[in-house]
Amino acid sequence: MPDAAVTLDFLREAFDKADTVTDLPPVHPGEILREEFMAPLGLTAGTVARAIHLPRSRIERIVRQEIGISTDTALRLARDFRTSHLFWLNLQTRFESDAAA
């Protein structure tokens, strides 16, 4: 059996190499809304906006990644898509954190 320290050192070196790490751009919650919820269900921004009682322009701007998702919008999306509001808020927080890094 190989020495654990040697194996651990080998793994650390492998993960430290720049070419083994791919930095992906931060994922905007609007992309998730558009690609994972609206597109598969064939929903338009207008349909979603009417369902959650928001202006169509707000949903359009979210899916175009021009604005983020507020707490109010997260609560409304959660209700209609049967998710947690924290799902949407965590997506937004993660996006902002990754974008700032």
User: In sequence order, which residues have a C-beta less than 8 Å from that of residue 46 and are 6 or more positions away?
Assistant: 56, 59
> To the nearest whole number, what is the mean pLDDT of the chain?
90
Structural domains of the chain, with CATH: 25-100 (1.10.260.40)
- Quote the pLDDT of residue 6: 67
Looking at residue 20, its pLDDT comes to 61
pTM for the structure as a whole: 0.77
Q: List, for residues 6-46, the tens digit of each pLDDT value.
A: 688 887 777 776 566 677 889 999 999 999 999 999 999 99
Counting residues of the chain whose pLDDT is more than 70, the rounded percentage is 89
Mean pLDDT of 65-83: 97
pLDDT on residue 34: 97
